[in-house]
Amino acid sequence: MADIRVTINGIEFANPVLTAAGPQIRTRAQLQAAVAGGAGGIVTKTVSVRPAADPRPTIRRTAGTGLMNCETWAECPPKEILTECRVVKDAGVPLVVSIGYSAADVAELGPWVEKEFSPAAIEFSTHYTGREMAPLLAVARALRAKVRVPIWMKISPGCPEIEALAEAVQPYVDAFVAVNSYGPVLDLDIETGGPLLGSAGGQGWLSGPPLQPIALQIVHRLATIQEKPVIGVGGIGRGTDVIKFVMAGATAVQVCSAAIREGNAVYSKIATECASWLDEHGYAGLADIRGLYTRRLAESTPLDRTARMTVDESHCTGCKACLNRCVQGAISMPGTVAVIDPQCCIGCGFCQDFCRFDALSLQTARHPAG
């Protein structure tokens, strides 16, 4: 079995699938269920100096497999919700406490959390800190001045100048978490014409699979511009999602929306699928694929405008999955295999997404030297 253990800032996790701060990880029962469900580490719901007061409803489905929420942070006093977290440490699973949001807030909460709960690390969320560099840097600096445990900084997808921010906070943080939910976004009930969420204007924050490409891009950027660990968050619900994030440069991942949709057994399912994929592809562990995307990107040569789709007849089964997928009408099947009309094909590559037998590939025309 492939080795899927990971170590971040000296903290050992049995697998790379951690909980993400959210409503699925609020009570003692939820914490115990996440541990029993196979989470490699527990990141708590975010607490701040005062309880939140979120208008109902707070979570609804949107964009197919996505979720939209107007949750903010814990609606209980910090002591009340964090006392429940002792059950995690009793189970021997690493505990990461999430706090927010201003420099004054984390300076007050950080040392209290460290003293009372001895977490493996403290994560601070930048979600409501704003998008300017100065306040984000101030929060990181304020927390570092008050605690000794590792500090994880959770980046929001709308955060500008990620490279500059990562460089500026280097002296204060030990790892990056990317990303928080995206927003604001809007969906509505077409039967009533009214809002789905109880927030002002019915606006919320998008999470789940629609967020994944955004998260992957930011994880890749963070992993290539600095050497501190990156934990990926956004649309992770299968083992292959973990593989993608690790290839992009992540050391571990966090899961929220999938646990809300499918329950706590999803953590073990994702970890098991991840290990199985590594086994099936001949990798000894996650370390073998970490950052693979960056290496492959450096090796790749972009195809030019002459690239057209070709069919490997030895692989094509005549399943017709590619037919009617080409908006240019370039694919036909007069016999038992697909045929590409090079005069119509523009080399967009979309048909490849529907071929399960690796029969389709882009080939560029070879030009004579000179």
Share of the chain above pLDDT 70, in %: 98
What pLDDT, on the 0 to 100 scale, is given for residue 366? 59
Of 264, 296, 328, the last residue of a domain is: 296
The last residue of a domain, from among 296, 317, 333: 296
For 122-146, the pLDDT digits (tens) are 999 999 998 889 999 999 999 999 9
Q: Are residues 309 and 274 in the same domain?
A: no
Residue 52 has pLDDT above 80, yes or no: yes
Contact predicate 153/173, CB 8 Å: yes
Same-domain status, 291 and 315 = no
What is d(CA 234, CA 209) in angstroms, rounded to the nearest whole number?
Answer: 7
Residue 1 lies in a domain: no
With a pLDDT cut of 90, the percent of the chain lying above it is 92
Q: Are residues 79 and 145 in the same domain?
A: yes
Which residue, 296, 323, 354, sits at the end of a domain? 296
Please say if the pLDDT value at position 368 is more than 50.
no
Q: What span, in angstroms and rounded, lies between the C-alpha atoms of 99 and 260?
A: 21
Shared-domain flag, residues 291 and 333? no
> Which token pair is 284?
């000894």
- Whole-number Å distance between alpha carbons of 190 and 317: 43
Residue 369 pLDDT grade (very low, low, confident, very high; cuts 50, 70, 90): very low
Query: 337 is in which domain, residue-wise?
Result: 304-370
How confident is the prediction for the chain on average, in pLDDT? 95
Count of domains forming the chain: 2
Q: Is the pLDDT of residue 367 over 70?
A: no
CATH number at residue 58: 3.20.20.70
Q: Mean pLDDT over residues 20-31, rounded?
A: 95
Q: Report residue 89's pLDDT band, with 50, 70 and 90 as the boundaries.
A: confident
CA atoms 16, 21, 22, 26: torsion sign: positive
What is residue 87's predicted lDDT score, i.e. its pLDDT?
93
Residue 245 and residue 193 share a domain: yes
* Residue 101, preceding peptide bond in cis (omega within 30° of 0): yes
Would you place residue 301 in the very low, low, confident or very high pLDDT band (cuts 50, 70, 90)? confident
The continuous run of DSSP H or E covering 164 comes out as helix 162-169
76 located within any domain: yes
Residue 351 shares a structural domain with residue 213: no
Residue 246 has pLDDT above 80, yes or no: yes
Instruction: List, for residues 177-222, the tens digit of each pLDDT value.
Output: 999 999 999 999 999 999 999 999 999 999 999 999 999 999 999 9
Query: Helix or strand or coil: residue 270?
Result: helix
* Domain co-membership, 65 together with 81: yes
Residue 90 has pLDDT above 70, yes or no: yes
